[in-house]
Structure formats: structure tokens, C-alpha cells
Amino acid sequence: MKFRHGLPLDTLAPAATVWDLERHRAFQAAVMSKDFYDEEMSRKQEALAATPDMRGQRRAILAAMELGPGEAVLDLGAGNGIMAREMLEIVDPSGSVTGLDAAAPMVAMAREVCPRASFVQGDASELPFEDASFDVVTAAQLLCFLPEQDRALKEIHRVLRPGGRIVVLDTDWGSLVWNSYKPDLMAKAVDIYTRPYADAYVPRTLSRRLRAAGFGNISCNTMTVLNWTPGPDNYAELTTSFLQSIAAASDDFSDDDWQRWVADQEAVAAAGEYMFSLNRYIFSAQRR
């Protein structure tokens, strides 16, 4: 079976479409399979988490969460567990951090990274927690994967205590500036890269969705991932290595496309016109 980004090709849909439930189930099955995060993908995830851009993102989320000692926190789509570890340092000693992720390999990785938090495998659209059991819920780069965002937001509302906070970070891929002398080829590469998302433009509808789910006191800030010079620590550099894996498995992006794409980026850098810029949006709100 051919894989793209670790997912069987037939489970993927073009970006900005909403997947039907059957596709979603196939996606979930693929995400939870051992093929999703193989050794190479895990290594790339770790390298990505260590970049200054991702460290800055974690700082921005923590600032928006305004955590205090003793709070009970839920991290949805917890991924590698690094965020959970940083949250635990603040809510300790009487607070708690629970992480939930759909992918078994990610849950295993998170348990190693942060043994003192509790991690469960599950679906963010159907939370296995009691009503009103958390003070704060966060979801970073998760809603983009969900075909049922509204259902997940209602679930978050249910498990938050009245007055509890939600903090969501997501990317709007419409904000991308990635300089190229071959814009058609770049557009094709970005299309392939964003295909695993159910919605590559979450932030532009999120305030409406939050209100509809019963949240108030909504606020929003941006943080820009900005790489204006090339460098091995760049978020863009890691994005490129993910793109390489995706392109290698894709029927729509040939080896020749990949070689031309790399040569184009080298030409842009050699001319001193390197530029990668992508906006993330951090929404905070309160359960009414």
C-alpha cells in the first residue's frame, strides 16, 4: 500500500474540504496504526519540537493559558508530551495534566517524555472524561485534523468546569508566504503538504464556532513563524523534510518536481530572497 505522510493514500482528501465520517474513521485507523509514526517520523517530530520556532510557540500557548498551581489541565492532541511536561511544571505539586491523543505511538512517546502526566489514547470528538472535570483545556494544531470540529468544541465545553478556559492554537495556511521563482510548483507542493488536514484554515471560522459551542470572553492573538534566512534550525527546514517524505510517496509530485523544487529554493536563498512566513492564531475563551 502506498503511504503519504504515513497515511494510506486513499484516506486523504484535498485541503479545506470537510471529510465525511467514513473517511474520518479510515484516517483515525491510519493515525492509530504503527505506520504513522515510524522511527524516521518520530525523529523528525523531535527535531521539530526542538526548533526555536516551536519553543516560542509553546511559550505563547503557556502565556495564553495563564496556568496556576493546583489546576487540572487537559491537553488534546498532546503529541510528543513536551507541552504536557512544561504545563506540569507550573501546576505542580497539587495540579494535574492529562493528555489525550488518537495515535498510540504518540501516546507511548508522551508517556516516556512526561511520566508524571497521565496520557490516554482516544478521539477528541468523544472525550472519555466526566463533565466539569478540568480547569483548562488546550488543543494545539489539533482542530485542523478533525472533520467534526464543532463536536470536539462541545465536548471540551462539557468537560470544562463553569468559568474554565479553553486555549486553541491553529494555523491558517492562507497566510503562508514561501518565496519561490516557480509559484505553480510551490502551490503544488503546499497542496500536497496540507492534504492530511481536514481544514487548513481553522482560525477564520473559530470565533463563530467557539460562540456556538457556548464559550464567551473570546480573545485572539497571532504568532508568526518567520524564517527570513535559511538555516538548519528553521521551522521551514523541518517542513521541507516532511514535504520530502510526502512527495516521495505521492503520485502527484514526481522526483523531477522534487528536484526542481529544491533547486528553486537554493536559487531563492542564493539571491538573498529567502522567506518563509506562516501565521498561527491562539484563541482563548471561557466556558459560560
Ligand X SMILES: C[S@@+](CC[C@H](N)C(=O)[O-])C[C@H]1O[C@@H](n2cnc3c(N)ncnc32)[C@H](O)[C@@H]1O
133 scored as a contact of ligand X (CB under 6 A): no
Contact range with ligand X by CB under 6 A, out of 136-144, 159-167, 233-241, 280-288: 136-144
Contact track, ligand X, 15-54, x by CB under 6 A: ----------------x-----------------------
124 scored as a contact of ligand X (CB under 6 A): yes
Contact range with ligand X by CB under 6 A, out of 78-86, 174-182, 205-213, 259-267: 78-86
CA dist 190 and 90 (Å) reads 37
CA dist 137 and 74 (Å) reads 5
Q: How many residues bind ligand X (CB under 6 A)?
A: 18
Smallest distance, ligand X to C-beta of residue 168, A = 10
Residue type, 78: A
CA dist 224 and 279 (Å) reads 4
Binds ligand X by CB under 6 A, chosen from 71, 123, 155, 170: 123
* Phi/psi-derived region of residue 108, left when phi > 0, alpha when psi is between -120 and 50, beta in every other case: alpha
With respect to ligand X, which residue has the nearer C-beta, 67 or 78? Answer: 78
Binds ligand X by CB under 6 A, chosen from 74, 91, 106, 247: 106
Count of all residues that appear for the chain in the document: 288
Which position has the grid cell 464556532? 209
Q: Hey, what's the cell of 151?
A: 463536536
203 scored as a contact of ligand X (CB under 6 A): no
172 scored as a contact of ligand X (CB under 6 A): no
| Paired strand residues for 277 | 177, 226
Residue 232: count of CB within 10 angstroms of its CB: 8
